[in-house]
Amino acid sequence: MGEVNLAKNIVKYRNRNKMSQEQLAGALNISRQSISKWETGENLPSIDNLISLSGLLDISLDELITGEPYLHFPFNYGKPKNHWPQIILVIVMVIFTASLTTLFGRTPLIKIFDIIFGILISYTFVTRMSFYDFKRYCNYWTLQKSGITYAVDSEDDISFGKDFLMPLIGLLNIRSTKFISYKQIKSMEIYLKLYGYNPSKELTLMGGAGISASSMVEQFELRITLLDGKKVNLNLNQYYWKDSKERKMLGTIVTFLKRKHFEFIDKQGIADLLRDGDGSLTQELYEQRDEN
């Protein structure tokens, strides 16, 4: 299987770099027939040639051999890259609260009320009505070589109060975390919760109705069961962001976790779809379900 993957990857990345067999052979100072034999799986490149190939094709050795990008540790899954959304949140809160106190704060008591009311209303409006998920600053998790660090809110169903406060916890950087080693894990399941209907088909029948299927997000997560019976759910929804590092790396992360000494459950065949498909994961799962 490894030889087949390597042969396919040489073809794939050579074509991606718009190189012919002759051009690649010339860059390596070998014959075109040698390249052809690598790509058919008849022969394998030497270690020196593998290193040269990775440089010429601008990929890591891991990606060349397995077809998957290299996984750097620690890997923060779902953690925002910058703090601009939080800065905007603070600015809106300050402006709105200052406006209230200026317009209505005639006495110290009313000013205190205006401050509390202004912060509460502006915080609620921005965090609940915005398209941006401010909870990401709190509920992201970190993959490490020896285990996983996660927000404690991932241990159970999130109540309304926790859900409301998570953006604030992330803003103040006071989230609580726990670490679990892979030795503590009994089983792990990758699961995407599909709707009872196929959104693409329903929206087509409804003529779109002003809604796009891409705006509808299914629950996607890793469900972990520890040896002591405790449950931990890790959110994978950042995969839906087309150009995100999470989308690029999820297949590699799954491959890494499947090699650990615990039961990895994948009833929907998501690992294969992540590795082989370039299309919509959710749509492929809906089509599989509809066929059955």
Give domain status of residue 237, yes or no: yes
Instruction: Tell whether 153 and 261 lie within a shared domain.
Output: yes
Q: pTM value?
A: 0.75
Tell me which of 38, 66, 94 is where a domain ends: 66
Question: What would the pLDDT profile of 208-260 be if each residue is shown by its tens digit?
Answer: 444 444 445 789 999 999 999 999 999 999 999 888 999 989 999 998 999 89
Question: Residue 26 — pLDDT band, cuts 50, 70, 90?
Answer: very high
Kindly tell me the sign of the dihedral angle through the C-alpha atoms of 154, 159, 162, 167: positive
Give domain status of residue 135, yes or no: no
Instruction: Tell whether 262 and 282 lie within a shared domain.
Output: yes
Give the SS3 label for residue 155.
Answer: helix
- Mean pLDDT, the chain, rounded, equals 87
CA distances from 241 to 244, 247, 266 (A): 5, 7, 22
CATH classification of the domain holding 255 = 2.30.29
- Fill in the DSSP letter of residue 261: S
pLDDT computed for residue 160 by the predictor: 65
53-67, 195-209, 273-287: least confident range: 195-209
Tell me which of 44, 66, 88 is where a domain ends: 66
Question: What would the pLDDT profile of 42-67 be if each residue is shown by its tens digit?
Answer: 898 999 999 999 889 888 887 788 77
pLDDT computed for residue 214 by the predictor: 43
Question: What would the pLDDT profile of 73-101 be if each residue is shown by its tens digit?
Answer: 999 999 998 999 999 999 999 999 999 98
CATH classification of the domain holding 57 = 1.10.260.40
Average pLDDT over residues 155-183: 85
Instruction: Tell whether 149 and 263 lie within a shared domain.
Output: yes
The length of the chain, given as a count of residues: 292
**Tokens 């670490």, residue?**
179
Alpha helices in the chain (DSSP H): 2-16, 21-28, 32-40, 47-56, 61-66, 84-104, 108-129, 136-139, 160-172, 199-205, 245-258, 270-276, 281-291
